[in-house]
Structure 1
Amino acid sequence: MKIDHVASIAPHLQEWYDQDMSVFVANQDLVLAAYNNPRLDLGVQIGDPIEKYKSTISYKVLLSGEKIVAQVSKEKSQFSIPYVAISSPIREDGELIGVITIVISTEKYNALLEIGEEILSSVEEIYASSENLSAQSEELSATAKTMDDETLHVKNDIMHVTDITTAIKRISQQSNILGINASIESARAGEQGRGFGVVAGEIRKLAVSTNDSVITIEQDVFEVQSSVSRLVESVRQLATVSESQAQGVTELTQALNQISLMAQKLVELGKI
């Protein structure tokens, strides 16, 4: 490739890129083309002797014949903006005859990289929070399941009490019948059965009192049983919701982990 052709293309390179760019072309002795961007003005001028730029990568390429890429951060840049400098050898018929150097601002690229790092940091924080929330949701689900089991146990105990009160009521009814029969037999016995009649009366009173108490207990047990049934249903719903929530949070945590991994890969690719 003829070096004058390269020099003629150099000014158009600035039109092909949106980033700020400076372009230089030099042969073994002199700078042949210099297009300095105001923000990346290296002070290179057409006609400058190449010896003047011994510390640059352009001069090193003329010595080595190999392409060189140098990245300069904002902190080390004399322009206060980050940039990358690319110097490539120019050959004609296999002979090294010059160098073209392109200096491109990476300000926009670095800004995107910083945004990517901020997104990664935010996602990692959300992921950590979701992991904690997932653990809490699983614990809540387990607690709700335990409560469900316990309330069912209480409900069974109340059913047992109901069975007992039913049995007592049956005994009370039988005692009342026994008292009535005893009163009848006492009346038949006349004066001799008077003492037996008193006992029979007390048995009937006890039967009636026991029956009244059983009715009161039944009403109380029914109210407690209704309350416990509502509690059982509420706890069961809580257990279902907690389990669903725990599953949803777990899926969210997995999704955030995938996003975190992808963001990390993007940031790593951006640093290459």
Structure 2
Amino acid sequence: MNIDKEDRKDANQELGITAEDIKLTDIFSLEFLQKFQDAFSNAVGVAGLTTDKNGVPVTQGSNFTDFCMKLSRESKEGLRRCMESDAFGGAESARTGKPAVYYCGSGLMDFGAPIMLNGVQIGSILGGQVLPSAPEKEKFIQIAKEIDVNPDEFIEAVNKIKIVPEEQLRAAADLLFIVTNEISKMGYQRLVLKKIVEKLGDSVTDMMATIEELTATATNVNEHQEKLNKEIINVNETILQINKFSNSIETLAGQSKLLGLNASIEAARAGEFGRGFGIVAKEIQKMASGSHDAVENIKQFTSHISDSVSDTIKLSDSTLQITRQQEEAMKGVVDFIDEIVTMTETINNLSVQQGLKI
């Protein structure tokens, strides 16, 4: 079957999939996101947290420091600053479509790496909670006073913060951005494959229903054809009956000729008395009566022929309608097959992009 590729719709539109409507969890399982985030956090030595496109966390935090969890976020003002910083990181990465490195309200260095899909942000990975160099004691004492926490505990906690040069943190954020976006493409392709498989299943189901319909209509065609054959047989039998009555008419006609001859002979013999004419007249009357009956029978059988022909025409029309239904059903099968072929090629293209062989 030849299919013009230029006439095919885009697979995403055909399946009703757009990046704007896709959620982060549509292409990533929460289990995978958590494991990936934990592995990255442990490898690089930074805290990590994954959020959806609205900034709502979808994972548990990885390697969050006591400085943040037990001090900054336990303070009302500190929590406000932290949430404000998280919102800024997500917004800035969404605005630029690239990782953003910044300082949080409690003085630590953080980053936000957007998870993009076809140019649309579907989530973010936030992280950091590090310092680029040794902490300035006076600066953090002042922050402790601003967020109303114990300065000594604050300084003790900040001294445990890991030192990561800003250049290294930016490189880690860039790497995370590249990896997550490549993985998101793979996840998106798996989503498309899943939708295609579902569509294929629906198409095959519809095709099977159509085939069943064809089977049922084919049975009807056979039944109608059998009735048609019986009607044709009836027509033939009617014709035979007509032939029989035609023979009867011919016999009566022969008798009429013979009686006419006999009447002439009798008339010659009787002379003017013509008694034989009375007998002939009676026989002729009988003959006429028989001829009349024969004609009436012919009319009845002619009517039967007309009825049989009408029934035959009706059955032919019904057969034609069923044939048309079969034709439409077959077109449906062709369309289903065409759709399956199209989606199969899409699956093949996606599998090639993923380096898989299906």
State the SS of the aligned residue for 2:261. helix
Amino acid across the alignment from 1:223: S
State the SS of the aligned residue for 2:57. coil
Q: How many residue pairs were aligned?
A: 209
Q: 1:29 to 1:171 in 2, by over 3 A?
A: closer
2:133 is the alignment partner of 1:133: no
CA contact (8 A) 1:183 1:200 kept: yes
Cα root mean square deviation, aligned: 4.7
Please name the residue that 2:60 is paired with.
42
Amino acid across the alignment from 2:249: K
The offset of 1:214, in angstroms, is 0.7
2:236 corresponds, among 134, 138, 156, to 156
State how 1:114-125 maps to structure 2 within 5 Å.
116=196, 118-125=198-205
Q: 1:129 to 1:20 in 2, by over 3 A?
A: closer
| Mapped partners of 1:120, 1:29: distance in 2 | 43
CA deviation string 1:226-262 (max 9, x = no partner): 1111122222222333233323323322432443565
Q: Which has more strand, going by share of residues?
A: 1
State how 1:76-87 maps to structure 2 within 5 Å.
none
| Mapped partners of 1:263, 1:105: distance in 2 | 19
Please name the residue that 2:94 is paired with.
none
Q: 1:199 to 1:134 in 2, by over 3 A?
A: same
Report which stretch shifted further, 21-30 or 255-264. 21-30
| Mapped partners of 2:44, 2:187: distance in 1 | 33
1:165 corresponds, among 245, 255, 259, to 245
| Mapped partners of 1:39, 1:104: distance in 2 | 18
Please name the residue that 1:189 is paired with.
269
The offset of 1:151, in angstroms, is 2.4
Please name the residue that 1:213 is paired with.
293
The offset of 1:225, in angstroms, is 1.1
Q: 1:125 to 1:27 in 2, by over 3 A?
A: closer
The offset of 1:168, in angstroms, is 1.7
The alignment's TM-score, normalised by the length of structure 2, stands at 0.45
Report which stretch shifted further, 111-120 or 133-142. 111-120
State how 1:23-34 maps to structure 2 within 5 Å.
30-31=45-46, 34=48
Amino acid across the alignment from 1:44: S
Q: 1:177 to 1:153 in 2, by over 3 A?
A: same
**Which sections of structure 2, spanning at least 5 residues, go unmatched?**
1-21, 26-32, 67-122, 126-170
CA contact (8 A) 1:182 1:197 kept: no
Please name the residue that 1:79 is paired with.
none
CA contact (8 A) 1:19 1:106 kept: no
State the SS of the aligned residue for 1:36. strand
| Bigger relative contact order (CA 8 A; separation at least 6) | 1
Q: 1:27 to 1:225 in 2, by over 3 A?
A: closer
The offset of 1:114, in angstroms, is 6.5
Q: 1:126 to 1:26 in 2, by over 3 A?
A: closer
Q: 1:40 to 1:266 in 2, by over 3 A?
A: farther
State how 1:1-272 maps to structure 2 within 5 Å.
19-20=23-24, 30-31=45-46, 34=48, 36-37=50-51, 38-44=56-62, 100=176, 102=180, 116=196, 118-190=198-270, 200-201=280-281, 203-260=283-340
CA contact (8 A) 1:144 1:242 kept: no
| Mapped partners of 1:109, 1:251: distance in 2 | 31
The offset of 1:219, in angstroms, is 1.1
CA contact (8 A) 2:49 2:57 kept: no
